[in-house]
Amino acid sequence: MPQKTRLAVIGGGPGGYAAAFLAADLGLETTLIDPEPHPGGVCLYRGCIPSKALLHAARVITESREAAHWGIEFAEPKIKLEKLRSWKRSVVERLTGGLGQLCKQRKVTYIQGEAAFDDAHTLRIRNRQGGEQPLAFEHAIIATGSLPATLPGLPASPRLMDSSGALEIESIPKTMLVIGGGYIGLELGTVYAALGTQVSVVEMMPGLLPGVDRDLVNPLAKRLEGLFQSVMVSTKVAEIKEQKDGLRVKFDPPGSNGAGQVFEKVLVSVGRKPNSKIPGLEKTRVQVDERGFIRVDEQRRTAEPSIFAIGDVAGEPMLAHKASHEGRTAVEAIAGRKVAFEPRAIPAVVFTDPEIAWCGLTEEQAKAQNRNVKVARFPWAASGRAITLDRPEGVTKLVIDPETESVLGVGITGVGAGELIAEGVLAVEMAALAADVSLTIHPHPTLSETVMEAAEVFFGQSTHVYRPRRD
């Protein structure tokens, strides 16, 4: 282990490893510290990647059932849990192992351990054997990510899981309650429902995916009615008690069953909290806000000039691609470049079935800001490609500035929305006009045409939707 390093990156998630790799590419001598054997962080070990591997399996199961509608019938799938788990593990190992190789190729020193601060220029690294060693640094980037949030008063029970536990799929429970109708709960609920669990969801807000435009959520909510046993909104969990055959959960309001309902497993997915409780942080001038996020400026520098913070620990949205982009900004700032983290659009994707994706200004935000916008919607029922896929429930919409006609935001619900949103991000980042989108020839028959046709709807001239402009 080195005694000193030019740049120390604490945390090997998509923020930390992207930062470390760019720093090495720019010629900075770099050390990356993380407790796992390879870089990857929550995203690769217990987040984005294992959940998407399982969602892919879930989609194959549901699609094989839906094929009956087209005259193709498959037998019910036989699920070999150990094989499914080991496939998911192999995906994670392949990717994290690859990152380990990239570390070596770039000559980034990777230390498997945990970092604490001694002062604004020294870390103390505890290795896996419990040994400790100081590491002096010129600059440090904190990329310690986030942890699952929890609820007060929960019993200590192996039937209770957080997202990391749920991704282990130790069993396929008969019944499962998902507490929290956010994206992680809905994605994992989708996986278990496809595997055969009767999934119920409870959400205290009036709708699933709070904060997301309702017209984007509605097609998913409708489909989940068929997939899940029940979806309870405007409902809180009042009490959870362990009993022999499961966890008895009482709800507020109690609904039809005041005595509560028994679930074999309960998944608590009520959000994530920044992981800013880094030992010794108080020995530096780094400031943490009331929600636990490290305060940073537009270059991601903290109040301590030698220390930067990026990713989930440095603020919302807690998403991998935002973390990576911030990591690259921080490194460029350290390298003396004139940079700032000022994206016009950070995409968000809910990888349910259908997927929901959006970027830039949403309709709800426009309303809250009292901002005058025009929304052009293209229903997928008018898309040839969506019909060939038997998935006409989707929608693509553009949020447009009526004065300049520039595209401020894009929202998409439908199969593959997560892939399609990239065009929307480019449009918003490049300040594209609705005309730029409508005049760009899109391949036929593809779902990407819905983006072009939404722009045509803005002009009242969509080929496949008759909606003349009233003004």
Ligand X SMILES: Cc1cc2nc3c(=O)[nH]c(=O)nc-3n(C[C@H](O)[C@H](O)[C@H](O)COP(=O)(O)OP(=O)(O)OC[C@H]3O[C@@H](n4cnc5c(N)ncnc54)[C@H](O)[C@@H]3O)c2cc1C
User: Would you say 235 and 204 are in contact if contact means Cβ atoms under 8 Å apart?
Assistant: yes
What is the spatial distance between Cα 211 and Cα 204, in angstroms, rounded to a whole number? 13
Span of 68-76, 143-151, 286-294, 442-450 interacting with ligand X by CB under 6 A: 143-151
Which residue from 172, 143, 146 is spatially nearest to 271, judged by alpha carbons? 146
96 vs 246: CA distance, rounded Å: 36
Residue closest to 181 by CA, chosen among 226, 235, 239: 235
Quick check: 205 and 234 in contact, CB under 8 A? Answer: yes
Decide whether 293 or 351 has the Cβ nearer to ligand X: 351
Return the bridge partners of 411, or none: 358, 397
Minimum CB–partner distance for residue 30 and ligand X (Å): 14
Q: Which amino acid is at 108?
A: V
Candidates 27-35, 79-87, 196-204, 433-441: pick the segment binding ligand X (CB under 6 A).
Answer: 27-35
**Strand (E) or helix (H) holding 427:** helix 417-429
- Closest CB to ligand X among 261 and 302? 302
Q: Which among 381, 426, 372 has a CA at the least distance from the CA of 404?
A: 372
Contacts of ligand X in 340-359 (CB under 6 A)? 351
**First vs last C-alpha separation in the chain:** 69
Residue sitting closest to ligand X (CB): 145
Among residues 275, 362, 438, 448, which is the contact residue for ligand X, using CB under 6 A?
275
Q: Is 139 annotated in the active site?
A: no
Q: Per CB under 6 A, does 19 bind ligand X? A: no
In the shown chain, the binding pattern of residues 32 to 51 toward ligand X, with x for contact by CB under 6 A and - for none, equals: -xxxx----xxx---xx--x
Question: 361-400: which residues touch ligand X (CB under 6 A)?
Answer: none
Contacts of 153 (CB under 8 A, 6+ apart): 240
Shortest separation between residue 227's beta carbon and ligand X, angstroms = 19
Q: Please pick, from the candidates 30, 146, 329, 413, the single residue that binds ligand X as defined by CB under 6 A.
A: 146
- Per-residue contact flags (x/-) with ligand X for residues 155 to 174, judged by CB under 6 A: --------x-----------
**115 scored as a contact of ligand X (CB under 6 A):** yes
Q: Which of these is catalytic: 69, 325, 442, 444?
A: 444
Residue 33 vs 373, nearer CB to ligand X = 33
Q: Which of residues 316-335 bind ligand X (CB under 6 A)?
A: 318-321, 323
Report which residue type is found at 242. E
Going by C-beta distance under 8 Å and a sequence separation of 6 or more, which residues neighbour residue 390?
66, 69, 70
Choosing from 179, 278, 408, 421, the residue that interacts with ligand X (CB under 6 A) is 278
Least distance in Å: CB of 417 to ligand X?
Answer: 13
Burial 124-157 (b: 16+ CB within 10 A, else e): bbbeeeeeeeebebebbbbbbbbbbeeeeeeeee
278: left (phi over 0), alpha (psi -120 to 50) or beta: beta
Query: Could you say whether residue 15 binds ligand X (CB under 6 A)?
Result: yes
Exactly one of 8, 9, 10, 415 binds ligand X (CB under 6 A); which one? Answer: 10
Catalytic residue numbers, as ranges = 444
Given the rule CB under 6 A, which residues bind ligand X? Answer: 10-16, 33-36, 41-43, 47-48, 51, 114-115, 143-146, 163, 184, 275, 278, 311-312, 318-321, 323, 351
